[in-house]
Structure 1
Amino acid sequence: MISRAAAPRVQRVSARTAVWYLRIVACLNLFAAVSLSFREQVRHHNHGDFYTPYLLTAGFSSAAFAVLMAVMMNRHKRAAWIANLVLSGLLLIGVVLSLLQHPGVDRHWFNWATLAVLVVFVGALVLGRSEFQAKGDPTNPKLAGWTLIGGGVVTLLVGTGLLSLTAAGRAASLADRAEYVVLRAVTLGSDGSQSLEFGVPRAIDVTVNVLCVGVLLLVTYALFRAPKGKEYLSHEDETRLRELLVKHGARDSLGYFALRRDKSVIFSPSGKAAVTYRVVGGVSLASGDPIGDIEAWPGAIEQWLEQAREHAWVPAVTGASEEGGVVYARHGLDALELGDEAIVEVSEFSLDGRAMRGVRQAHKRVARAGYTVAVRRHADIAEAEMETMLHHADQWRDGATERGWSMALGRLGDPDDGQCVMLECYDGEGELKALLSFVPWGEHGLSLDLMRRDRDSDNGLMEFMVIELIQRAREIGVERVSLNFAVFRAVFERGSRLGAGPFLRAWRSVLVFFSRWWQIESLYRANAKYRPQWEPRYVLFERSRDLPRIALANACVEGFIAQPRLPALLRGRRRGVAAEQATQERELEHVA
């Protein structure tokens, strides 16, 4: 595939010309839908021997179709290019034949103008053909066919049923009513048809038209939709990623989360680096920094971007560090600060001082209540004990949705995750009351993965467990701990200061409002009490206009929108590889 950056200028300009033509036609159709005089002129030229330019037919339906075509062409879809070339080519042939049959220039000047526009559009398509190489999903034709059949049946049933409720419909046979709906669907006429012996209310004609246009748009979308990207981590991929993490895992605290089995991976040509991602709603969303040797990162990023262009996916990165963001930026991505990660250096942590008074008092209060904490690697936990912890973790989860993606492993108790660290908090009677699970961050670091606690237990258990881990970190060779990620941390911190500007204060107020449901501010405050080092994290994107789409995809994978049910993932491979893969398929279908 020829990249857009390397394509000849004439091809790029031709491709943009075709896209802008479709956009202009969409605007003209929309204007015709609200302007009676312009609509009448367009309809006049669409009757008899006159022709209007390609897709200029006036009305909301043609405007919607043109918009959809423009969007798909803008995403460099090969199927959309073929469809536009065939449709506009047929119209071009029709105009040429008409002009040959009626050569009078004065009478058919409008057709000559239409011919000129068509030649420009078809020429732009032909010259820019190498720009439209994005592949569609192989199942698109089948899906489009079933959508057409299903939509046609629904339209036929609804139209025939509505006709049966009218006096005119009851006077005709069922076959006549069905024939009327079919003819209406094929012609999409704007006025009530008088071809049959009975008059039909205009409302029924409009209803059938709306249903037909909806079916047409759904079929068009089904034909042009991007592949879903469901090549999840294979056992071989996971093995290669683990080898890279052994050598380079200390570079990024989010590195171990690349082993989520609902992610896909693409390696650099040398195999020394990889980008892990997930495709949601046409967005190829990578998380964290690339895995592996930093010298090989550009090769992996280029492979990932090339794959995104090949399938018309929007490339984006969430949770990249400053170092990773710089490398991504060299490949044409812009950066926007997303928030900060709280990192505690064990050697620098202390409970002394007035700033730590609240944490210190909470730790002492919980300790006096008789709570104790056990710190173990997952590999040191017996299978029966792990099953008990899994049962409690499921019971204590806040809601049915497992939130987190960029900083969550999505499973618990998998035998391959033996180096993860489990903190178990027991009350004075020896009952398990809370769990914390951390994934490895290189050889001497941990990154928080899972937090669970009994809601009937005392407050302050999480603070107590975190402090216990930090104080006993050297027992398991840990020098630094990554805690939760605080989204828009700088806004909360600076927005509450004296002298903060009106925009910053307003933005903080918006975040505080949404924190009622998504705990944005509470996560920041929960992390800030440990006086951590704040490491900024970034979201990277190719075009600013894609940010709403990227934000929606990110909210989906993180569990804030269209939240999937993920209880099976917590049980890891103990449910069997086949069952796990089937569960992942269902989850991602729900998200998409």
Structure 2
Amino acid sequence: MSNAVNVSPRADAGTGQGAGGQQPRRPGDRSTALTRRTALVPEWYLRVVGLLNLLTAVSFTLREQVHSHNTGDLYTPFMLFAGFTSAAAALFMAMMLGRRKRVAWIVVTLLCGLYAVLSVWALTFDDLRRHPFNWISTAVTCLVLVCTLIGRREFYAKGDRTNPQLALAVLGVGALISVGAGATLVTAAGPDHASIGDRVWYVALRLTALTNDQDFQALHVNHWVGAGINLTGLLLFLAVLYALFRSPRGREQLGRDDEEQLRTLLAKHGARDSLGYFALRRDKAVIFSPTGKAAVTYRVVGGVTLASGDPIGDVEAWPGAIDAWLAEAREHAWIPAVMGASEEGGTVYARHGLDALELGDEAIVETGEFTLDGRAMRGVRQAYNRVKRAGYTTRIRRHHDIPADEMAELLAAADRWRDGQTERGFSMALGRLGDPADGDCVMIECHDGEGELRALLSFVPWGPKGLSLDLMRRDRSSENGLVEFMVLELIQQADSVDVQRISLNFAMFRSVFEEGARLGAGPVLRLWRSALMFFSRWWQLESLYRANAKYRPIWEPRFLLFEKSSQLPRIGLASARAEGFIVAPAPLSRLRRDA
């Protein structure tokens, strides 16, 4: 794999980030310096107001002052109300405006417009007009409204068409459950002479923060019950906002025509990236360059559009595909990220404004240069000979050479040996086995001395002369070192399947394990290595590195690409979900890809 790429100017080159460091613009973008600046006003205003609301919520003195203002002859500017609910609402809408969501602009414009009308109308009354503070409040509200209207072009991100219906459903069902549970708690907390209707009405008003205990003299509500009702109202409000502002789901189903076009590109350019064949996962979506000579495959998880590996196709057409992918991300307010890009692909992605973070290294074995001789290979050689003396044998075939009944037996064994019910993998796994369309994949079967199947490995094509590890399953009761034995058998019999290079497992943070163990390693590197060793108890980070290192492979770095460092937690969570390390509970499975 080369470490650099020379992209010549052409129609597919797109409008990526250049030397000036400016972000690529959206197609049809009509934004100006004025609209970009004014669009920041409502965003930052809501941030400040949200923090002020949070401060008043925790300070009794400030909260009473704000309440006295809004219930007397004074009123505060837009969204400046004491309480956790108003603080959460302001901060949430500020965040959605920061993502340039169109529906957030609509909601803020309507609410601010209505509040501005009421503020101007209030100034017609002599008692309210004579207070200078009310004029200031009205002026601030109107200023925010004007800036919101001027900056409307900056809020272009689309939402899901089903969001309004989902928000109404969440509101209706949540309100019924909350009112019913709240009325039950009010009744159980203490006897009183209030009717059922009064209790229900009290809970309903308390959920919307429109009342307090002094408004209902007939009710004697426990303090903790009232606090619980307020918390329920806050959670319900946030759930409605989440449903209303969530990002649209991505197209996570690779169509037949798209798959055929990708296979055509892989036939021409598949030798460039060992992860290229994994672009054919059918839970991914694909977006092509304007000429169709390159493509980016991705999946939307938690509001993150997660691409994997390098773009597919002609390297000179990569910028066009990347531009199209980034434009779609901006249009839907998705966070763009790339998992497992090579140094060549990462270089091109970086030219489009993405930063790179090295994740680890891919182990690649050149079959013509591999040897078991030498002291460094002594342990591998001994393990190989031990398994061979135990009577184990291998059989190497292309998938299209395996009869259907034998393939069915292999599939049953693979399912039986799977560790858990979740199929892991996204960027470096195909996610299926035995599909007729994958006939060029290579299967390695391992049988014991009695002819019983004990393990199997499956490799996907890496161009015409390479293979990339996809699936690794074995019987837990089989001989130790069985997988190593199978890999060595494949290397030694590589000519039978016309293979010259093999991509094995990916070793995350490989350089940390290697450099941190050396004499003279710095304290920071040693501390980082110790932390990774600790987490390896659950995630097998160190064991994967050791399993790869024994073959003395060529290490090729792989990178994570992202726009902002602040987005890394969301990207990490989305990656863990896509790879199958974090699985949503069954009732939430329909919301897995929501933002």
TM interval, shorter chain, is over 0.9
The Cα of 1:160 is off from its aligned counterpart by 1.3
Q: Is the 8 A contact 2:354 2:563 kept in 1?
A: yes
Q: SS state of the match for residue 165, structure 1?
A: helix
Q: Is the 8 A contact 1:180 1:196 kept in 2?
A: no
Structure 2 residue 36 is matched with structure 1 residue 9: no
The Cα of 1:186 is off from its aligned counterpart by 4.0
Amino acid at match of 1:532: P
Task: Map 1:573-588 onto structure 2 (within 5 A).
Answer: none
Shift in alpha-carbon separation, 1:354–1:494, aligned structure 2, 3 A: same
The Cα of 1:177 is off from its aligned counterpart by 2.1
Q: Is the 8 A contact 2:265 2:312 kept in 1?
A: yes
What is the CA deviation profile of residues 546-591 of structure 1, one whole-angstrom value per residue up to 9, with x for unaligned ones? 00110111111112222789xxxxxxxxxxxxxxxxxxx9967557
Report what 2:505 is aligned to. Answer: 484
Partners of 1:4 and 1:51 lie apart in 2 by 42
Shift in alpha-carbon separation, 1:142–1:192, aligned structure 2, 3 A: same
Partners of 1:159 and 1:227 lie apart in 2 by 33
Shift in alpha-carbon separation, 1:172–1:45, aligned structure 2, 3 A: closer
Q: SS state of the match for residue 349, structure 1?
A: coil
Structure 2 residue 347 is matched with structure 1 residue 326: yes
Equivalent residue for 1:156, pick from 170, 179, 196? 179
Q: SS state of the match for residue 97, structure 1?
A: helix
Task: Map 1:520-535 onto structure 2 (within 5 A).
Answer: 520-535=541-556
Q: Is the 8 A contact 1:518 1:560 kept in 2?
A: no
Amino acid at match of 1:176: D
Report what 2:195 is aligned to. Answer: 173
Partners of 1:213 and 1:353 lie apart in 2 by 67
Amino acid at match of 2:59: S
What is the CA deviation profile of residues 254-303 of structure 1, one whole-angstrom value per residue up to 9, with x for unaligned ones? 00000001111111111111100001000000000001111111111111
Partners of 2:373 and 2:436 lie apart in 1 by 39
Structure 2 residue 94 is matched with structure 1 residue 73: no
Partners of 2:445 and 2:128 lie apart in 1 by 90
Q: Is the 8 A contact 2:49 2:79 kept in 1?
A: yes
What is the CA deviation profile of residues 143-181 of structure 1, one whole-angstrom value per residue up to 9, with x for unaligned ones? 111101111101111121112214444x33322322222
The Cα of 1:140 is off from its aligned counterpart by 0.5
Q: SS state of the match for residue 485, structure 1?
A: strand
Shift in alpha-carbon separation, 1:384–1:563, aligned structure 2, 3 A: farther
Partners of 1:303 and 1:7 lie apart in 2 by 19
- More displaced stretch, 192-201 vs 245-254: 192-201
Partners of 1:430 and 1:553 lie apart in 2 by 43
Q: Is the 8 A contact 1:341 1:486 kept in 2?
A: yes
Partners of 2:194 and 2:135 lie apart in 1 by 46
Amino acid at match of 2:143: V
The Cα of 1:524 is off from its aligned counterpart by 0.6
What is the CA deviation profile of residues 23-66 of structure 1, one whole-angstrom value per residue up to 9, with x for unaligned ones? 11111111112223322222222122322121111222211111
Equivalent residue for 2:135, pick from 101, 112, 119? 112
Amino acid at match of 2:175: G
Aligned length: 570
Report what 1:134 is aligned to. Answer: 157
Structure 2 residue 107 is matched with structure 1 residue 86: no
What is the CA deviation profile of residues 511-544 of structure 1, one whole-angstrom value per residue up to 9, with x for unaligned ones? 1111111111100110000000000000000111
Partners of 1:219 and 1:104 lie apart in 2 by 34
| RMSD after superposition | 2.0
Report what 2:527 is aligned to. Answer: 506
Amino acid at match of 1:165: A
Q: Is the 8 A contact 2:338 2:560 kept in 1?
A: yes
Report what 1:248 is aligned to. Answer: 269
Partners of 2:406 and 2:90 lie apart in 1 by 60
Structure 2: gaps spanning 5 or more residues: 1-24
Structure 2 residue 364 is matched with structure 1 residue 340: no
Structure 2 residue 474 is matched with structure 1 residue 438: no
What is the CA deviation profile of residues 341-390 of structure 1, one whole-angstrom value per residue up to 9, with x for unaligned ones? 00011111111111111111111111111111111000000010011011
Report what 1:359 is aligned to. Answer: 380
Amino acid at match of 1:423: I
Shift in alpha-carbon separation, 1:440–1:134, aligned structure 2, 3 A: same
Q: SS state of the match for residue 277, structure 1?
A: strand
Partners of 1:473 and 1:153 lie apart in 2 by 66
Equivalent residue for 1:269, pick from 290, 293, 305? 290
Structure 2 residue 564 is matched with structure 1 residue 540: no
Report what 1:29 is aligned to. Answer: 53
Partners of 2:593 and 2:119 lie apart in 1 by 46
Partners of 1:204 and 1:378 lie apart in 2 by 64
Q: Is the 8 A contact 2:391 2:449 kept in 1?
A: yes
Amino acid at match of 1:36: F
Amino acid at match of 2:439: G
The Cα of 1:510 is off from its aligned counterpart by 1.2
Amino acid at match of 1:158: A
Q: SS state of the match for residue 215, structure 2?
A: coil
Amino acid at match of 2:179: L
Task: Map 1:163-562 onto structure 2 (within 5 A).
Answer: 163-169=186-192, 171-189=193-211, 191-195=212-216, 197-562=218-583
Partners of 2:340 and 2:125 lie apart in 1 by 64
- More displaced stretch, 434-443 vs 496-505: 496-505
Partners of 1:454 and 1:104 lie apart in 2 by 81
Q: SS state of the match for residue 429, structure 1?
A: coil
Amino acid at match of 1:302: D
Q: SS state of the match for residue 124, structure 2?
A: helix
Partners of 1:253 and 1:427 lie apart in 2 by 31
Percent identity of the aligned residues? 61
Partners of 1:257 and 1:564 lie apart in 2 by 26
Structure 1: gaps spanning 5 or more residues: 566-584
User: If the length of structure 2 is used for normalisation, what is the TM-score?
Assistant: 0.92
Shift in alpha-carbon separation, 1:344–1:511, aligned structure 2, 3 A: same
Report what 2:66 is aligned to. Answer: 42
- More displaced stretch, 21-30 vs 32-41: 32-41
Partners of 1:450 and 1:142 lie apart in 2 by 42
Partners of 1:444 and 1:330 lie apart in 2 by 30
